[in-house]
Amino acid sequence: MKITCETATLSKACMNVQRTVSGKSTIPAIEGILIHALGDHVRLTGYDLEVGTETYLPANVEENGSIILNAKNLCDILRMLPEEEVLIESDERNICKIRSGETEYSVIGTSADEYPDLPVISGGFPIVIQQGLLKDMIRKTVFSVSTSERNPVHCGVKFEISDGKIVLVAVDGARLAVRREEIDYSGEDVSFVVPAKTLNEIAKLGEDDEKTYSINVGKRHICFEVGDYRVISRLLEGNFIDYKAAIPLSATTKIVAQTRRLIECVERTALIITDRSSPIRCVIGDGRIAFSSVTSIGTANDKMTAEIYGSGVEIGFNSKFILDALKACETEEVRLELNSANQPILILPTEGDRFLFLVLPVRI
């Protein structure tokens, strides 16, 4: 193989592909990036057996061929090269030379024959969605996925697509995030769960909010196409929680409050909390919300005015979970709904149902 590429273009592509390369594995080949040169382009592939990224970029290919190079070493080298162009050349012994100006490296590669094939998705359902919209939906849900392997299906975000609507759902046992939107889709109803790692990766690749993601869903895998990149991931299997049954249908107390003020009050009151088990106490009534916390460090108190409808209530909650939800709202005002100190808090937009966050209370 012998190719010449723009250094910056190749370096950026390798950095993006590296994020789905395995860090440590019993299969050394997947700790590298597969470089395949053919015709007038180079294909780069990174795959950790769960998520794979593939991209094409133009190159001057003097000799077709393939090689696997350690991803970290390759990215480190490319980032430090001095010239605008880089020449990469490998021989039959998988010795690879990397030259740029007066700088030259000779590194040992691995035969491309040892690289596993990426899954092939056939008979899937094509879905097209604007990059900016999907990134917003991911941002408003992915923080609520579970990090426990006890129920692996909850380590991802559930997609429900039907009747021109898309719903993303994430749950971790103590909180729930739901984001809804209308899209141009007239295919059959589909439901699947995508790992959080995959969604975080495609959100980074979507650089132009006005362009689109093209999504193809198979029985066990999903493929996202964004720009010159393809991200292929396994889908998570298992019984996802019936999240609709967890959402209260009515509320005895409703609050409309400024989002920024809520965030500031919770952040100030949480400053003395040193462990996750210490809750923030929230007393709601008489047109105000009073916040307080008590820890081994001391006490903190704050309050704010709000529109309060219904009965007063005193409730405790995990400050991080509430802050995560409030910061994801990105609206000037939010609506809070609750029933008692033992039932969940709902955080909603003041109008419509584009998002919904549910947080379970903490005993105080």
Residue type, 202: I
pLDDT digits (tens, 9 = 90+) for 268-295: 999 999 887 789 999 999 999 999 999 9
Give the pTM. 0.93
Give the tens place of pLDDT for each residue, 209-268.
Answer: 899 999 999 989 999 999 999 999 999 999 999 999 999 999 999 999 999 999 999 999
Q: Give percent of the chain above pLDDT 70.
A: 99
Angle, helices 131-139/196-205, rounded to nearest 10 degrees: 140
**Do the bridges between strand 125-130 and strand 103-108 make them parallel or antiparallel, or are there none, so unpaired?**
unpaired
Closest to 152 in 3D by CA, of 212, 241, 79: 241
112 bridge partner residues? none
Lateral strand order in the sheet of 253-258: 190-195, 156-162, 165-171, 175-182, 355-359, 345-349, 333-338, 253-258, 307-310
The stretch 320-338 carries a mean pLDDT of 96
Q: pLDDT-derived band of residue 149, with 50, 70 and 90 as boundaries?
A: confident
> 10 Å Cβ neighbour count for 301?
13
Per-residue model confidence as pLDDT tens digits over 213-225: 999 999 899 999 9
Q: What pLDDT is stored for residue 364 in this prediction?
A: 82
- Which residue has better confidence, 251 or 188? 251
Alpha helical stretches, state H, 143-297: 196-205, 243-246, 259-270
DSSP designation for 229: E
pLDDT at position 86: 98
Q: Are 180 and 147 in contact (CB under 8 A)?
A: no
Helix, strand, coil distribution of the chain in percent, nearest 5: 25, 45, 35
pLDDT reported for residue 290: 97
What are the chain's domains? Answer: 2-114 (3.10.150.10), 125-244 (3.10.150.10), 247-359 (3.10.150.10)
DSSP of 95-107: EEEEEETTEEEEE
Whether residue 109 has pLDDT greater than 80: yes
Average pLDDT of the segment spanning 137-142: 97
Mean pLDDT, rounded, for 86-107: 97
Cα distance between residue 201 and residue 31, in whole Å: 18
Residue pair 326/266 in contact by the 8 Å Cβ criterion: yes
Q: What is the mean pLDDT of the chain?
A: 95
Contact between 241 and 154 (Cβ < 8 Å): yes
Assess whether pLDDT exceeds 90 at residue 185: no
The pLDDT assigned to 71 comes to 97
128: which 2 tokens?
């097209």
How many other C-beta atoms can be found within 10 angstroms of the C-beta atom of residue 235?
A: 18
> At which residue do the structure tokens 């903190």 appear?
300
Cβ atoms of 216 and 121 within 8 Å: the answer is yes
pLDDT band per the 50, 70, 90 thresholds, residue 330:
confident
What is the per-residue DSSP string for 25-68? -SSGGGGEEEEEEETTEEEEEEE-SSEEEEEEEE-EEEE-EEEE
* Mean pLDDT value of segment 319-332: 95
